Structure formats: C-alpha cells, structure tokens
A and B are shown apart, each in its own frame.
Chain A
Amino acid sequence: MTRRRDRSAALIAGLICVGLIIAIALVSLLYQPYDPSDTSGGRLVAPSLAHWAGTDQLGRDLLTRLMMGAQIALVAGGGSVVIGGVLGIVLGLGAAFATRWLDDTLSAVLDILIAFPTLLLAMLVIAAQGASLGSAVLAIGLAMSAIVARLVRILAKRVLAQDYITAARTSGSSWPSIIGHHILPNIWPTVLVSLAIQFGAAVLAEASLSYLGLGAPPPNPSWGSLLQQAQATVYTAPLGAIAPGILLVLLVVGMNLLADGLRDVGDPTQRRRA
C-alpha cells in the first residue's frame, strides 16, 4: 500500500462494497420481495425461484430480512458516527481551547472513558434503558465521542501552535472564524478517516449486541439477530448462517478500504506505509 495507485484502488473497492450495501438498503425501502412478517413461505425452505435465499425457521423470506438488515446496519453505523462525531469534535475543540487545568481534567476523563469498553457501556445503557436500536446507537456513539474528542484535541492543538493562527489573531479574526477557516479544514481529512473506520466498528458492535439479544427487539432483522436465529439451524440451513455474516464483512471491509483510500485523497502530503 505504498503507491498512490494502490490507495485509489482501495478507495474504489471500498466505494463499491459500501455502495452495494447502501443500494440494498435503498431498494429495501421501496421494494421488498415479501412482507417481512409473512410466514406463509414454510419453514426453512431451501433457496428457490420464489425465495432466492430460502426462508427462516418461522417461514419468513430470508432475502427480505437480509435487505432490511442493511437498513439497520447503516442506521447503526451512521447514527453512532453522527453522535460520536458531533460530540467528539465539540469536546475535542473545547479541550484544545481550554485552560491548562480544564484541559488536563478533560483529557483524564476522556482517558477513563476510552478505557471503558464500548460493549460494557452499551450493556449498561441497555440495562438501564431497555434493549432497542436507539440504546445501542447511543451507547456506541458515546463511546466513540471520547475517541474522536481525543483525536480532535491533539490535531487542533497542533494547528493552534502554527504561526498563521497568530497572524490571523493579530489581523483581527475571531476565534469562531479561526475554527471555521483554519482548524476544521486542517483537521477534517484525518477526522474523516477516523470516522470511516469507526463506522465499521460501530456496525460490528451493533451486530454483536443484536446477536446477544440486546439490540432492537424482534422481529427486527439486524444481521446480528439473523445470525443468532440461524445458529440453531446452521446444519440444516447453512445459508442463513452465512449470508448475514458475508454482508457484515462486506460493509466493514468496505468502510476500512474507504478510510484507507480517503487518507490519501484527503491529505496528499501524508504518505504512510502502514
């Protein structure tokens, strides 16, 4: 992954993977092969022309549920990234501008938050709020905000130490205008790459929670809960236990490749070997 060509190849491959999942989700908004709660298909029917991916143990069309799962995965990833991104950028900028004492305190709190595992935090929120997609997204987003805040704080401090910030200050620019004109444009590429990777991690975290029965309650067709249901019948109906996993991997690998590609596009001066 040294050369620019490899990077743009990663970007294109990532766009294809993620685009495919987005396309599936969009199609499922407009058209579903079957009603997702329609159980008339017969239990565990093998793939056929009527049911391309077969049916699950309740007789629901698997293809329909897989397609709806794309919506949930994207909402989980997108929701967490929005919460984590907005909160993290605000907190990180705050810490970068804060006084020494406040900055130290904020950094220590962020360190503790980051040490606190996301999955445990999510279980805590879910134990208090009840299992739902909202609880899961909230918890993942909160955990993510600490990581983003730490990154933004370091990046923003680096920019603030530059001479052109002093120049902008002496020529009368206000802090909000400096944030808008100098800090955000400078840190944005790196933050975006981080958010793309977090997106994939958030999708995996939501799938784990749903697998454990702590995501959106049934009949929610999250890929995680599809895998949980399919586990009991993996021997007789293997497709149900394979397809959701492949889609999950496709989305997460896609986001990681996208992040890899964005790293170069967003910042041509940065040539990393890793």
Chain B
Amino acid sequence: MAVYLLRRLVFLLVSLLLASAVLFALLRLLPGDPANALLSVGATAEQIEAARQSIGSDLPLGQQFVAWLGHIFTLDLGTSFISGVPVGPDIASRLVVTIPLTLISFVLAVLIAVPVGYVAARRSHRWYGMTLSGVSQFGLAVPIFWIGILLISFFALTLRALPAGGFPRQDWADPLDAIRSLTLPVITITIVMTASITRYVRSATLDVLGSDYLRTARSLGASFRQAMWHHGLRNASVPVVAILGIELATTFLGAVVVESVFALPGLGNMLLTGIAQHDYPVIQGVLLVSTFLVLIVGFIADVVQRLIDPRLRGNMTGQRAAVVR
C-alpha cells in the first residue's frame, strides 16, 4: 500500500505538471501575444504594454514557463487585466459559492442514488425497478441547464417560492438567504448526478446479486440479509467508489454550467467572464485551479478504492469515464 501510495503520488505530481504544461502551451497558441487579445475590448497601447509585463510575455517561452511554474508554487496567479483584482484571492472568494454547491449536490445525489440503485437492481423485474432504471436512463440524456431553466420557470416564476438566481452580496453572512439562493441550483445538479450514479449502483448490485459467492453463502444457510451484509456490500462498493471520483469531478463541472443558469458568482461565471473579456490571467488561473481540483479528487478516489479492494494490483488508476463529459 505504501509503495502504491508513493507511486500514485508521483503520478499525481506528474499529472499536475503535465496539466500545467498543457494549459500553458494551449493558451500560448493564441496568435501573437496574449495581451494583444485585449485590443478587442478596446485597451490602449499602454494598457497592453502593462499587461504584457505583468504576465511576462515579453520574455522567451522557456523562461515564461519556468516563471509560470514558480508562480503556481507560490500561489501567485497574477492580476486580472480588466479589473486589476488579484486572481488568486478572487478565485478563493468564488469557491465559497462553487464548493458548497458541488459538495451538497454530490452528497445528496449519493444518498439518493445508493438506495434507488439498489432497489432498481433487487427488484429489476418488478415494474418499479424497471421504472427507476428507465428514469435514471432518461436523466442521463437531459442537459443539466435545461433542468435548471424548467425549475426556474416552475418554482421561481410560477410559484414564486424561491429566487430565480443570484447570490447574497454578503455571501454566507445570512446563511438562510444563501441556502435559499442555492436550493434550486442544488436540486438541478442533484437530479442529473443521481441519475448517473444510480446506474452504476444498479449495475454493481446486479453483478453481486448474480455472483457465485452470494449463492454459496445462501446455500450454506445465511439469510439474504447476512449474505449481502458480509459479502455483497464491499464487493458492490468497489466499482461504485471507483466512479465516485469521476462523478464528483462531473458534479463540479455541472456546477460551472449551473452557476451560469442561476447567475451565481462562482468559479464558472468567473471563467466565462474571463473568456468573454479575453482576460488571460483569469482564464489561466481558473482553469488551473479547476484542473488541479479534478486531478486531486481522482487521486483520493483511487486511493480509497485501493483500500477497499486489495485485488487491484498493477493498476495505477481506477476505472475511468466511458463517455466524454
């Protein structure tokens, strides 16, 4: 386990480095100087020169890359071209919205999906088992932002029960207000993520239900409950934990999109504004932080999976996504 942990940690570091390099390379593919992109938002020559110096794009590429790595280590992500606000602290203040949104939705989705997926598998030949699995199949095909729009039109515009968007200016100072603002976004993400996780729980449970060891345990006199408790749960949890890391990353991405639906001042909206204004340090900073979060979550999921299932030798990373997301 210690060796694996070390190897997986090295793999994480290499991934982080590679991701930084890819990010750097792709953003520098911009024709000409990244600061020139400011022309399109009507910056003066002096402003562009100042921007160029602030990100060091007048230096040779190799030096720039070293400087960029140095900045990552010192957590200095530069300042926004447009607002002049330091990017690092701005991202931190946005995470106050994005992280609760992601985590609450994720935990809710897991809490709902595990029993629902189990029932869908255990009663796969009853009408409600089939209905559950059909609904989850359907939930996968629905664009997340569309669910948001439909929820807004019903709960916010028709019933006028919840705000259609926005977030209190003083963040969590008034927790109740903040929670009210996050309710519809959380429901939106939870619906989609529940559908997705349910399918994995269902198929993992089906595998266990059809397994020889469960039948053997039953034939040796164990009740279904005992057999499931002693043998089934741990086996069924392996593939589920494997995908939870990915699902958490997907939830985070869902949050990025849903923030836009509900005009929440989170990381996603910061990135979109950055892209619209060609604000190079903002784009770079947000993408870097998001990528790092996703890679670190993947690392944690792999380690947990390894703890549950010692059979996974030789595999560096656990089960990965089967679709683009």
A binding-site residues for B, Cβ under 8 Å: 80, 84, 108-109, 111-112, 114-120, 123-129, 131, 140, 143-144, 147, 150, 194, 197-198, 200-202, 204-205, 207-208, 211-214, 224, 227-228, 230-231, 234-235, 238, 241-242, 244-245, 248-249, 252-253, 256, 273-274
Contact call B272/A212, Cβ cutoff below 8 A: yes
Contacts of B203 in A (CB 8 A): 274
B257 at the binding interface (Cβ < 8 Å): yes
B311 within 8 Å of A (CB atoms): no
A111 near B317 with CB under 8 A, answer yes
- 8 A-B pairs with CB atoms under 8 Å apart are A112-B14, A117-B325, A204-B143, A231-B261, A234-B149, A234-B153, A248-B143, A273-B206
Q: A128-B29, A212-B260, A274-B203 are in contact. Are A235 and B324 (CB under 8 A)?
A: no
> Cβ of B18 and Cβ of A212 under 8 Å apart?
no
When distances are taken between beta carbons in the complex, the residues of chain A under 8 Å from B290 are 117, 120
Which residue on chain B has the smallest CB distance to residue A201?
B323
Q: Is the CB of B145 within 8 A of A256?
A: no
Question: Most A CB atoms within 10 A — which of B141, B145, B253, B272?
Answer: B141
**Max chain B C-beta neighbours (<10 A), residue from A150, A194, A235:** A235
Residues of A within 8 A of B242 (CB): none
Identify the B interface with A (CB < 8 A). Answer: 11, 14-15, 18-19, 22-23, 26-27, 29-30, 137-138, 140-146, 149-150, 152-153, 157-158, 202-203, 206, 210, 249-250, 252-253, 256-257, 260-261, 271-272, 274-276, 283, 287, 290-291, 294-295, 298, 316-317, 320-325
Known: A116-B294, A235-B153, A273-B206. A211 touches B325 (CB 8 A): no
Q: What's the Cα separation between A242 and B291 when bound, in Å? A: 33
Given A115-B249, A119-B325, A249-B138: 18 more A-B contacts, CB < 8 Å: A112-B19, A116-B294, A117-B249, A118-B324, A147-B322, A201-B325, A208-B144, A231-B152, A231-B261, A235-B153, A244-B146, A245-B143, A249-B141, A249-B143, A252-B141, A256-B137, A256-B141, A274-B202
Residues of A within 8 A of B291 (CB): 116, 120
Main secondary structure of the interface of A (DSSP, over half): helix
CA distance A120 to B274 in the complex (A): 14
